[in-house]
Structures are given as structure tokens and as C-alpha cells.
Amino acid sequence: MLPGGGHSMKSSTLKRLPLAITMALATGQSAMAQDEDESVLEEVIVTGVKYSMTAAVEIKRESMAIVDSIVSEDLGKFPDNNVVEAMQRIPGVQVTDRGAGEVSVVSIRGLADVTTTINGRNVFTAAGRSVALQDIPSTLINRVDVYKTRSAENISRGIAGQIDIHTNRPFDFDIDEGLHFLGQVRATYMEAADEFNPQGSFLLSDRFETGGGGEFGWLINIAYTQVDWRDQGAHAGASFPFDTVANGLGQIPPDQGWTPGTDRGLPTAPGSTLPGDPSREYLHWRDAMFNLDARGERERPAGNVALQWAPNETSQYTMEVFYNGYREDIFNSLWFQFLNSPIYDLADPVEIYSGTNIIRGRTMGDGFSFTSGDVTVQQTDSWLYALNGQWELSDTFTLESDVAFQDSEFETDFWGQRVARIAPEFYININSGDGVPYLDYDPSGMGSPANDPTNVDNYFLDWGFQNGARSSGDALTWTADADWDVDWGVVKTLTFGARWDDRSAEDQVTPGLEGGPVDGTTLADLPPEFTMYNTGDFFGGQEGVVQGWVVADPNWVLSNLPQLRQIYGFADPSYSPVFQVDETQIAAYMQADFYADVGAGFIDGRVGLRWLDVDTDIASPDDTGAFVTANNSNTTTLPSLMVRWGMTENLLARFSYTETFNLPAFNQLNPYIQYFPDVTNIGYGTASGGNPNLEPIESENTDISLEWYFAEGSVLYATWFKRDISNNIVPFRNVVNIDLPDDSPDRGPYDYILSQPDNAGASSLDGWEFGVTWFPELPGWFNGLGIQGSYTILDSEQQLPVLDDVGNITGFDISPIGGVSDTSYSAILAYDRDTWNMRLSYFWRDDFYNNNEAALFANPLQVWRGQEESLDFQLTWIMTDHLTVTFDATNLTEPEYHWNYGNQPELFNFHNYLYSRTFSMGLRFEY
């Protein structure tokens, strides 16, 4: 029997019986022994924070792969407002890209190349290969498993690992419970936005016997989330070489003796000269500073419908429909001040960082400044339809088959509306402390109205910007999996199966338009409602951070786009394809589970092989509208070996060797190459495009762990792991010799420097994970205290090819892998009682290399993020058997987030972000 009285279906994999292990934990049984006393399993109901944490321990213990999990504390009570934030609790998992009231990116052991599945089915958003995980509401989720190693039966795409999300199903409930109803309402207060936001969900389910001894169940689960958020940022621009004060402090163009875009930047010693002009001394200074005050209104509707039918004890059918939607209007108020004016003849001197040639502060004048009221409107609709069947064909043979269809669409539209002014004079200190720049628009103290950034009379109508995109994707997927209990000596089970996936995707854009007014319209010709005064405790009211500026009102802009398009001569948006993709994946696998007694312990494991064939047809239009087509085909064979040694009853050692891979993104395979002929007689043309000949990224993975289960639901463990990654996809330049038909007819073929992605270089990552979960037996009121902690150490490096001007590799630059912190940890204090429970969680990660600045002139070019932290609190009060009150608070310390160039925060500060605290009160009622 299944837990709760359902019909049994054997399986060698964790994913197919999601509640078997967690329900067994409630009685203190292992999953291996649960059949010995099924009646006890049917009677036990355990909820709360202790259950959530200790159930995850048992899942880890029983899984053949290295798996860490998050389990719902009670039906519909996932431990965080946001699924991505909840994953911070898992050892080795790091989250980043906090903003817009949430975090959005998950890394497993420093790598963001993650495959996400829902109930074992691969999911995606629109034309991408990955899913926007934050779009899935936590109230629909029963459990999340993070696979750090994977068997041959698992989808092997995604070098970092796999995130498998389990939704609720009707057979999760005891048949004796009858109709089950759960409703939740919650109000969340976003402090920075000063807004209360509603959230709600309900679940309705029933399970009953049918004629002939069968069972039927149905479930409806619907959720809605609304968030009004505000993010704030105060930023310093990129560093440039400037002439010395004696020569006027003018910005030096890149073609006058220096090469833009060096990773670590030009030398910072006093008296340094340009590499290409040893007689020309320079100083470092910034090109700009800017503030961002972004607000958004986001909605996420979602729902899940599931039907389950077990006509007899040897078969079971499940039909599911899963929907998640996303709607968001983003209003960004941008203030931007250029700092590249020459010397300004005022009394204040130029300030230099001691022992460097870097300017820290200066007085300036006649500086061009603009503000932009940016409006972004976007939405997603994703549907997943699935039908699953499981059959116990004999005492030793079980078959499962699944067919699923997905459809996902995304669209976004943007308008940026600028107004501008000339700032007569101002003083700037690029780093007033802790990376935040300081600006004073009235350094002489004269109080001139012309200096006031909140005076609309100082502004004129500036440029407008328009762009947009549409993308869509669908997939039809069929899988079949079989388990055969063979008992051939040490070999106990054979598992084999196949997967067929037919995927299509399309990406469309509207031509990006930009320019100034074409009909003579000025700011005075527009109504007063066109502009607004942006203010309101910006960046905590910090001294020296510009607090207010005139900006185009985003609501007026959104309501009057036809008029604005007429002013700027922009056509109404029309969308044309960027690429169209048809891809077929065929996979097959076989694996064997083995077991042998060894003294007082045992050795078991799994050995397998997965074969995958991928055939991708991609087409992209050229300048004439005709489609350029290409094919990318790859065949991959991926072995896996997992061994567990049960040294004693509670001491378990693991070893695994696996191989995983990742496919190129669809846009990277774009076959269209755009050529720009040599019109200045420099000797070569330029070209850019995708590369349909890209090969998959491959990784060889080794994991060794030791786990001590020293008490029920408690564990102390250490894991060492290594990832050797090859075929990295990096920006590259190649020289091609071609004769274009529309070029000068007498020129003949000549060289073009082609910029496109290519497979080059390798990377490696290794590290340690340490973790503990412990709920000790304590006297009196101390009983119920528990702890969960983890500490991760990572060491990474990647090879980035260094190219000369014509694309020859002259060497490799070694740098950390983007997104990898050397250290990170989490510490959780939990307290669980009969009628209430709480959890206080703290997460911290070290600074890390993020990316290379998109503005390739930056010196230094590398962008690093500073350390990040979060302190969260959850409280649950069980008032009655049917009514529960919840309180949640996130980001309690509200730290500033700092980015910098070249990992030199004292000298080359960059971004400074302030994200909001949130407080939520909720009411849950269950019958």
C-alpha cells in the first residue's frame, strides 16, 4: 500500500514515491522497513518546522544519489515566501540577483547551470532552455529535491544539478479523510515601497473508493500573489584614463595610446603613462554616476489540477495540468550625471587617492545630465499538461510511462523617456565611504535655481527609446521507465527506459528605435502631468546621495504612447523573427542496482549509462527577410557510478562518478552572420553572429561524502566534490576570408574578423560541504529546540582565451568562475512546540566575480560583487486544529549590496543597492 492507504507501485527512484520516505520518518522507521507496519503509517500526522527539517534528513539518507531537500512544514506551508529564497537553506546552494522584492537565480555549488523539473518533467520558460523558478508559487509545492549527483535515469542536462519540484496530488491524502479543504490569505508589507500586498491560495481535494475495489482522487490548487516593490541604487560609472590636471583633465579616447577593456585595468601608480604613448601621463577618473529608483507591480496567478485513478492494486493513472503566469509593470526612475567634462575653473582642487593616480573628488561644471522615466510591461503564460500511468505487471516487473505537453509564451515592451539639463556646477566625491558616491549640486553655496535638479524649468525634452520582444516555446515529451527485480547475485534491480522530446521555440523582436523629437516638440509643449518630481527617502536619505530629480511620469508615458511615438517619429511596434528552432531529443538508459552484506554493514550502489541524441534545426532571417538555416547535431554517452558503504547502522559513506552536459542556448546557435565591409581601408571587415557548430559543454564529476546519522532525524556530514568542465562556450573572434556579393566588385575576397561564440578553454571547480541537522531531546521548555547549519568552501578557475586583433589565441587568462563565492554558510535556529513553532535563519556568502562589464571600455573590466547576507524569521501559531496564524519577515538587517570593478572596492567602487525588508501576516484554515 502507498502511504495513506493507496495502492503500492514499486520504484527504485526517489522521484516516483515522493511521500514514502517522509511519512516513514514520522514513525521513526526507515523507508526500507516501512512495509513492516503499514497501519502505523496510516495513523501518523506530523507537521511543523521539526518535521520539515528532519524529513529532509531522511530523504538524504535513503537516496542513492546525493540529494538535499526542502519539505513543506504542513500542507501548503512551504518554509519561505519565495521558493528560491527557501533554497538558501540547502548546503552548497547559493542564491543571487536579489531585487524586485525577491531573489531569482539559484546556483548549486557555485554553478547556475541547473535543470528544473516539476514532478520529474523538464520545464522551461518561452524560448529558453531553463525556467523562471521564481514564477512558481510556494503554496503549490509539497517538496523540492536538489540532486547534486544524478543516476542514468535522471535528465543529465545541467552541469550544476537538478531541482525537482513536487506538487500536491490527491493520493497524498488518507482516503478516510474525505473532502479536504485548505485556504490561505496573507498580507505582505514591502517596507521600501510602503505597500501592503495580498496573497491567497486554496486547495480542494477528495479521494474515494470506486466500484470494483478501485480508488479515485481529484485535487484543485490555485494561488495568486501580488507584490508592489521598490529597489534603490546609487552607482559610480566606469573608469577611464583622463589627461592630467595641467592638460585640462579631458577624457582620452581609446585610439590615443590605450586599449579598452582590460580585466584588471590600466596601472594605478603615480606618474603612469599610456601603454601606446610613453610620453603621455594620465589619471583615472569616472565617466558618470547615476541613481536608480525602481518600482514595480507584479502579479503571479498559478494553479494545479490533478486526477488520480487506481482501478486495482497493480495500476495507477495520474492526469495533471499545471499553470503559472506572470504579469509585471516596472517603472524605473533613472538619474544620470556625466562626469567627463574637462577641468572647471573653480577654487576646489582635484583630490587624488594617496599613492595612486586615481581621482577621488573634483569640482566640475557644465555637465550634461539626464533623467529617464523607463516603463517596462511584460508577462508570461506557461502551461503543462501530463498523463502518467504506472503498472505492476508482475511481482518483479513495474512499468511507468508519461506523456506531457508544454506551451509557454513571454512578451515584453519598453519605452524610455528622457528629459535633460546642463548642471552649471557640482562637486563629486566618487567614494564617500563604503562605495557610495557623493554629489553636491551647490558647492559654492550660492543657491542658484539653475543648480536645482528638482526644478522642471532647468530641463528640456531629450531622447526617446522603444523596443520589445516576443518569445514562445512548446514541447511534446514521452518517457517510459521499467524496474525489474532480478536478484542476480549482488545485482538486485535493473532499471531501463527511454525519452523522446520534440521541442520548438521562436524569438521575435521589434526594431530598437532611439532618437530625439522630430516634430519640434519641446518640454513646454507637453502638459504638466508629463513630468513628476521624484523624491521620498531615496537610499535611506543618505547625505550626498541626490534625493530628488524631475523625471517623466511613467503612468503618463504608459497612457500616451501613441502621442510619444508621433513626437519621435517611431512606428508602432511590429515583431519579426530572430530565430526559429525545431529540436528533437532521443534518450535511452540502463542502470543496475547492486547490494552486498559486508561484515556488520553493507555496500550498495548503482551503475548506469545514458545515451542521448540531439538534433537541432535553427533558422534566422537575413537582411532581405530570407531565412538562413543550419543544423546542430550531437550524440552523447554519459556513464554514472554511485557506491554507498553502510559502515555501521548510522555511518554512511558515498562515492560517485558522473558525467553531465549542457546544450548551447538557442540564440547562440543562430546561423545568420552579419558582415560589415571595410570602408575605412583598415585592411579587414568585421562580422558578428551565432555559431551553429557549437558542441555541448561537458563535465566530469566526482563526489565523496561521509554522513553520520547520530540520532533520529539528525545528521552530521562532510562532502568533497570536483567538477572538470570542458568545451566552455565563450565569446570568440575568428578570421574568415570571403567575397561578399554586395561589396566592391573589384575588391575580391578579403578578411573579416568574425565575433561569435565558440568552444574554447576549460574550467574546474572543487570544494567541501559541511552540514548538521540536530533536534536533541531536552528537558522542559527547551525541548523542541533544533539547529541546522551548513558551510561551503569553493575553489574555481576558468580559462578565457586571450586573442590578438585578428583572432589568434595568444594564451589563456585564468579567472574565477562567475558567481562562485569562496565561502558561504547558513545557520538556522528552530523551535517546535505543539501549538507553535519558529525559525530564525541567517545566510551569508563571500564576495565573488560576477561578469565582465558590458561597456568594454571599462578599466578594470571585471565586475565583482561584495559579500551578501540575509536574516529571516518565521513564526507559526496553531490556534486550533483548523486555524493557523503565520508571520514571516525577510531581509531584516536590510544590508547594502556593493559591487566593484576589479575586486578593488576602495579604489573602483561601482554599484550600491538597497533592497527592502518584508513583513507578512497570514491566516490558514484547513478542514
Sign of CA dihedral 450, 451, 456, 459: positive
What is the C-alpha separation between 526 and 560, in angstroms, rounded? 11
Instruction: Look at residue 76 in the predicted model and tell me its pLDDT.
Output: 62
Instruction: Look at residue 53 in the predicted model and tell me its pLDDT.
Output: 86
**272 to 199, 269, 282, 672: CA distances (angstroms):** 58, 6, 7, 44
**Cell numbers found for residue 246:** 595641467
Smallest CA-to-CA distance from 329 within 379, 376, 381, 293 is with 376
Q: Does the structure show a pLDDT above 50 at 23?
A: no
What is the C-alpha separation between 699 and 796, in angstroms, rounded? 14
- Of residues 578 and 745, more confidence is placed in 578
CATH class of the structural domain 226-238+287-926: mainly beta
Give the model's confidence band at 674: pLDDT under 50 very low, under 70 low, under 90 confident, else very high. Answer: confident
What is the C-alpha separation between 100 and 85, in angstroms, rounded? 13
Q: Measure CA 724 to chain center.
A: 22
Do 285 and 252 touch, CB atoms closer than 8 A? no
Q: What percent of the chain has pLDDT over 70?
A: 91
Q: Does the structure show a pLDDT above 50 at 32?
A: no
Length, in residues, of the chain = 927
The mean per-residue pLDDT over the stretch 271-295 comes to 94
**382 to 89, 158, 177, 400, 406: CA distances (angstroms):** 28, 21, 33, 25, 7
The mean per-residue pLDDT over the stretch 497-518 comes to 96
**Cell numbers found for residue 510:** 521589434
Q: Given phi > 0 = left and psi -120 to 50 = alpha, else beta, which region is 58?
A: alpha
Segment among 22-26, 395-399, 790-794 with least mean pLDDT: 22-26
The mean per-residue pLDDT over the stretch 125-132 comes to 92
**Cell numbers found for residue 561:** 504612447
User: Would you list the domain boundaries of the chain?
Assistant: 226-238+287-926, 239-286
What is the C-alpha separation between 411 and 872, in angstroms, rounded? 33
Instruction: Look at residue 747 in the predicted model and tell me its pLDDT.
Output: 63
The mean per-residue pLDDT over the stretch 314-340 comes to 96
**Cell numbers found for residue 899:** 559591487
Give the model's confidence band at 663: pLDDT under 50 very low, under 70 low, under 90 confident, else very high. Answer: very high
Instruction: Look at residue 808 in the predicted model and tell me its pLDDT.
Output: 73
Q: Does the structure show a pLDDT above 90 at 306?
A: yes
Q: What is the pLDDT of residues 845-893, one digit of tens each?
A: 999 998 887 666 678 888 999 999 999 999 999 999 899 999 999 899 9
pTM: 0.90
Q: Does the structure show a pLDDT above 50 at 43?
A: no
Q: What is the mean pLDDT of the chain?
A: 88
Phi, psi angle pair for 55, to nearest 5°: -65, -40
Output the CA angle 558-561-565, nearest 5 degrees: 150
The mean per-residue pLDDT over the stretch 226-230 comes to 93
What is the C-alpha separation between 844 and 351, in angstroms, rounded? 35
Smallest CA-to-CA distance from 638 within 655, 608, 659 is with 659
**Cell numbers found for residue 94:** 547559493
Instruction: Look at residue 5 in the predicted model and tell me its pLDDT.
Output: 34
| Neighbour count for residue 672 (Cβ, 10 Å) | 20
Q: Does the structure show a pLDDT above 80 at 643?
A: yes
Do 565 and 572 touch, CB atoms closer than 8 A? yes
